[in-house]
Amino acid sequence: MCGSSHFVENSFKSKRCESCGFELFMNASASCAAFILNKKGELLVETRKFDPAKGMCDLPGGFCDIDETMEQALHREIKEETNLDIVKADYLFSIPNSYLYSGIAVKTLDFFFVCQVSNEEEMRANDDAKDCQWMKLSDIRTEQFGLRSIRHAMQEFLQKNLK
């Protein structure tokens, strides 16, 4: 607020200016990921094009933009990465995470959804996805997923859906 560069850690979630007392809170960035099942019950799995976890498996999704709802972000990210159009999205759960971006650990809150799409035959990898494929749930190995929150979400999802 005062232009000073004398910010010090005030708590685990804030920094405070030693000159004027302004406190800046470090809140989590919101992101979304989708479990998309096709008509055969197979899950859409991406291969990451970029770091972090380049070349490893992932779910389609990404960060919520400013002035965008989580639902809008979900629709936009899925369209950008897979060319698919969501017709139904059911919220599952959220997981706090840390996402390494340009050497900085960005604290995130990752929201997970189960989605249905209208155009599964038009799937193609775009944007951050190097490749997209449909996988049988029984063939999925969680250790192939590079991001901690995605791995954890995948374990929960498979536990509930592989019965």
- Domain assignment of residue 48, given as a range: 28-161
- Does residue 93 lie in a domain region? yes
Task: Flag whether 6 is in a domain.
Answer: no
pLDDT band at 55 (very low <50, low <70, confident <90, very high): very high
In a domain, residue 20? The reply is: no
Asked if the model's pLDDT at residue 17 lies above 80, the reply is yes
**Within a domain: 54:** yes
At 131 the pLDDT is 97
pLDDT digits (tens, 9 = 90+) for 71-130: 999 999 999 999 999 999 999 999 999 988 888 888 999 999 999 999 999 999 999 999
pLDDT for the residue numbered 29: 94
Between these two residues, 7 and 80, which has the higher pLDDT value? 80
CA distance 46 to 60: 6
pLDDT of residue 60: 98
Residue 75 lies in a domain: yes
Task: Report the CATH number that the domain containing residue 114 is assigned in CATH.
Answer: 3.90.79.10
Instruction: Judge whether 5 lies within some domain.
Output: no
Q: Is residue 12 part of a domain?
A: no
- With beta carbons less than 8 A apart as the criterion, state whether 32 and 26 touch: no
Residue % of the chain over a pLDDT of 90: 83
CA 47 to each of CA 19, 52, 55, 78: distance values in angstroms, whole numbers, following the listed order: 47, 12, 6, 14
- Does residue 158 have a pLDDT over 80? yes
Q: How many domains does the chain have?
A: 1
Strands of 57-58's sheet, edge to edge?
Answer: 57-58, 43-48, 129-135
Give the predicted TM-score (pTM) of the model. Answer: 0.90
